[in-house]
Chain A
Amino acid sequence: MKKIWHVIIVLLLNQLIYSTALAATPLVEFIVKPNANQSLKPQNTGLLFYTLRNNTSTTFPLSYSFSSSLATVSPISNTCGNAIAANSTCVFTVQYQAPANNLRERLIIRVYYQGRAPLLDAINFNIDSTIACVLINTASYQTPFCQDQYQKVIEYTPNVFNTSNQNVLEEQTLGGVVGIFRNINNVEHFCYVGCGLRALGGSMPNGDTLFELASVTKTFTGSILGKLVTNGTLPSPNLAVAPHLPAGFMLNPNENPVTFQQLATFSGGVCYSDAPGIIQNPGTQIQNQNAFITDINGLNPDPASGNCFGGGANSVPIYATPPYLPTKNFYSNSSFGLLGQALMTIDGFGVLEPGFNDWMCQQITNVLNMTKTNGCLPAEAQNGTCGASTSTCLFTTDWTSAEYSEGYHITTGKQYESGSPFPFFPWAPAGGIRSNAVDMLKYIRANLGFATNNTQLALITGMLFAHQPNDYLPAPGLPIPNIGSQNPFRGGQGYAWVCMPSPTNGDRICGKIGGHPNFRSFLGFNKNQNYGLVILFNTGAISTNGSLHTGSVPTVGQIGASLLEHVS
């Protein structure tokens, strides 16, 4: 019995010693350090932010040393100074001035505090003139968050920017902008990374440079649907759109029950993306609208009716018995075009370019103070001829001075070729908006639920509703989830958005890809991290959604997903 007690006491003592060992507490420590690998363009400045914590009740003097003369103590956000007070934290900032030439250097940083040894950290700097991106010196760029995000943009865009105009690969781009937003403990950060060139022979694009959003526009239309549902204008998203369509639409009886929800989730029997009549014979806006009406009126989701109107496979009903709607998720610009026309009509706007612009102003851009965003062609926006009402659109004056990025596609000779601006089509609610990173961060901030004023709340409520996954409805019995794809995002189909748990950490991440012949875009957010981003590229790609992509250059969707999954 005595021996057993001895064993128990020894075990308890061992446990006590072990647990004490695990609880080792340094006197002073780094609690936040920058990434150990930093990349910079020559002659650019990088900031390294360290957060120090003094765990003792003694105030320690601080001094610093660096292994490179290119590093100095920076006063930016530096709260440490020459001492760290007892039981406190402070931020210590190092500025690294990249030289004019390429250089690989290991910077050793020592912080002396009168302890046994200095706090030590090593940063590997890669100064490389081939780095295409620069953290733009605006907004929150002098923060640890933006400095870190800049490094991540470089990390996740290998071989993406090709400014040489030689041997241009699929998914490469001449230039682009990445805008990143995050709310950290109620402090908002806005970062802008400019990459490559705005145009051949031009300068680097910045946060104000306008790009075509392409299909990211669908999230605008989806947000408006969400708003009309959540504010009670539409009693249910499962109502038929037919009564709300503008003049001329006469849907097939099998298509006539199509609902707002089905059109917003690509399950409304629209079996083509771009309306075939317009693609084959484009004309004026009115001619295109008439052709669109004809194409929509030709839809018949009954599989027995044959091929889709205009050729191609017909849509596939989800449930075995009529009605033939909903149909299997088929990504369609015209589906969102039709949805948008119904919503514009409900809101009292025409469906041509002036009406579309006024509708977007009233519902989105005015509300969120997006001063440069519009659906006009660049020249029309600058000279005020796109028909937007100056009484409805608050920022038409700002449009006149907007700087647009040139758009490019890749020729068979693997060079850039400038393309025309994407024209106004009846499916403008699916892809007709142009915007910049500054405005889009206001938009993504709202999508994360952050309101600046009460007038934004109704829109934000609608936005949050638009993120939600949907089932194929109406269902005869147990509903089947509608799974959407925005490669690499695959998950519950929202109103244009596709959300899924992050494979890396389980965070709920949502994304939407856009692609035009001369532009690509990505909009996404990580709800758990209050983090959102926009990627705007000025070069198109054959596989804009990345689904056919097999090359070594990451797609815009893959870049977005990487950033969303590695926020912290």
Chain B
Amino acid sequence: MTQRIFLKISTLFFISSSCLAALPVSSDKNTTLSAAIGYTQFPDSHDQLLVISDYVTDLLTHGRQRHNMSYNFSVKQQLEHNFSAVNKIMFGPALYWQKAQFFGDVWEMVSPEFFNYRYDFASRNISVLLESDFYFNPIAKLMPFVSAGAGFGVAYTSYNDHAFPNIPSNSELHWSQSKTKASVALGAGFSVPISDHWAANLRYTYLYMGKADALLTPFQPISIHLNSQNVLLGINYSL
């Protein structure tokens, strides 16, 4: 298991590094620290069947997303390059913290007559990527950029349902598990210089993590999709 994770991580770093290796760049020692906060949208939840036994199957329905703040931190080094269309290239590690959370109704026996629980299905995701930002020449004061990165993420997935009054609490399901996933990020945005050291930026990032399965019973798993669209507002500080 550990070997597989190591292999996966190595592969992702290799892909990320290869993107840059193809470019004629070198470091100029300009380092930028970034922090951003923003809004994340995960794919809508669909009804899912939760098989309890040969006799009882529950339906997870009326799923709704609870939006949580997402965070991004990065430390990037400016690289020298020879491309006239590109103003600068920043490269370095980036960390994304997100929480995918869905809640909805549980109908035992797939029947609204037995609407006996509410569920909360969530995944807290931390992704560590090697990410490159390609800044283009400024338009007015706006400096547009595109970014790409790859790395790995850890999805800490949990499922909890809560019984209504008159339903025994020992029948509630509580489950959690963490799993390492490959992560790939693609994005674009623009930066606005504020002073010599400070700049503000707004970026859109599509973060691919696939989905996480939850095997609550010995039968079929239920899933939560982790691919996300993120709009992040942040600040950069250049050393």
Contacts and interface: CB of A to CB of B under 8 A. Distances in A.
Contacts of B54: 114
A27 B115 contact: no
A58 B53 CA distance: 13
Interface string B50-82: 001111101000000000000000000000000
Interface in B154-193: 163-168, 170-173
B171 A24 contact: no
A114 B55 contact: yes
Given A27-B114, A115-B53, A120 B170 contact: yes
Contacts of A22: 164-165
9 contacts: A21-B165, A26-B167, A55-B114, A56-B109, A58-B109, A60-B55, A114-B52, A114-B53, A115-B52
A55 B53 CA distance: 17
B147 to A, nearest CB: 39
B108 interface: yes
Contacts of B164: 21-22, 24
A56 B53 contact: no
B205 interface: no
A115 B165 contact: no
Which 3 residue pairs of A and B lie closest in terms of their CB atoms, listed nearest first? Answer: A24-B164, A117-B171, A114-B55
Contacts of A24: 115-116, 163-167
A119 B168 contact: yes
Nearest to B114: A25
Contacts of B115: 20-21, 24
A83 to B, nearest CB: 11
Contacts of B55: 58, 60-61, 114-115
A27 to B, nearest CB: 6
Which of B55, B113, B115, B172 is packed against the most chain A CB atoms within 10 Å? B55
Contacts of B168: 26, 117, 119-120
Nearest to B170: A117
Given A25-B166, A116-B108, 9 more contacts: A24-B116, A24-B167, A26-B168, A27-B56, A27-B108, A27-B114, A60-B55, A115-B56, A120-B168
A101 B164 CA distance: 42
Interface in A105-153: 114-117, 119-120
A116 B166 contact: no
B171 A115 contact: yes
Nearest to B52: A116
Contacts of A119: 168
A55 B56 CA distance: 13
Nearest to B118: A21
Interface string B107-125: 0110011111000000000
A26 B53 contact: no
A25 B116 contact: yes
A16 to B, nearest CB: 11
Contact of B173 (A26, A56, A116): A116
A455 B108 CA distance: 57
B105 to A, nearest CB: 9
Interface in B187-209: none
B171 A116 contact: yes
Interface string B138-163: 00000000000000000000000001
A22 B166 CA distance: 8
Contacts of B163: 24
Contacts of A61: 55
A116 B55 CA distance: 10
Contacts of A21: 115, 164-165
Contacts of B114: 25-27, 55-56
Contacts of A27: 56, 108-109, 114
A28 to B, nearest CB: 10
Contacts of B165: 21-22, 24
Nearest to A110: B170
Contacts of A116: 52, 56, 58, 108, 171-173
A114 B56 contact: yes
A20 B165 CA distance: 11
A25 B113 contact: yes
B49 to A, nearest CB: 14
Nearest to B161: A116
Interface string A49-79: 0000001101011000000000000000000
A24 B163 CA distance: 9
Contacts of B53: 114-115
B166 A26 contact: yes
A22 B167 CA distance: 10
A369 to B, nearest CB: 47
Contacts of A115: 52-53, 55-56, 108, 171
Contacts of A55: 113-114
A76 B88 CA distance: 86
Nearest to A21: B164
A25 B172 CA distance: 14
A55 B167 CA distance: 13
Contacts of A56: 109, 114
A119 to B, nearest CB: 7
Contacts of A58: 55-56, 109
Which of A27, A56, A117, A120 is packed against the most chain B CB atoms within 10 Å? A27
A417 B52 CA distance: 68
Nearest to B169: A117
B62 to A, nearest CB: 10
Contacts of B58: 116
A26 B56 CA distance: 12
Interface string A329-345: 00000000000000000
B69 to A, nearest CB: 24
Contacts of A120: 168, 170
A377 to B, nearest CB: 60
A58 B109 CA distance: 9
A60 B54 CA distance: 10
B114 to A, nearest CB: 6
A120 B55 CA distance: 19
A115 B56 CA distance: 6
B239 to A, nearest CB: 50
Contacts of B170: 117, 120
A113 to B, nearest CB: 8
B52 A26 contact: no
Nearest to B216: A116
A13 to B, nearest CB: 11
A50 B115 CA distance: 25
A94 to B, nearest CB: 18
Nearest to B173: A116
Interface string B74-106: 000000000000000000000000000000000
A56 B55 CA distance: 11
Nearest to B164: A24
Contacts of B113: 25, 55
B160 to A, nearest CB: 13
Interface string A7-32: 00000000000001110111100000
Interface in B35-56: 52-56
A120 B116 CA distance: 17
A468 B153 CA distance: 82
Interface string B11-39: 00000000000000000000000000000
Nearest to B112: A20
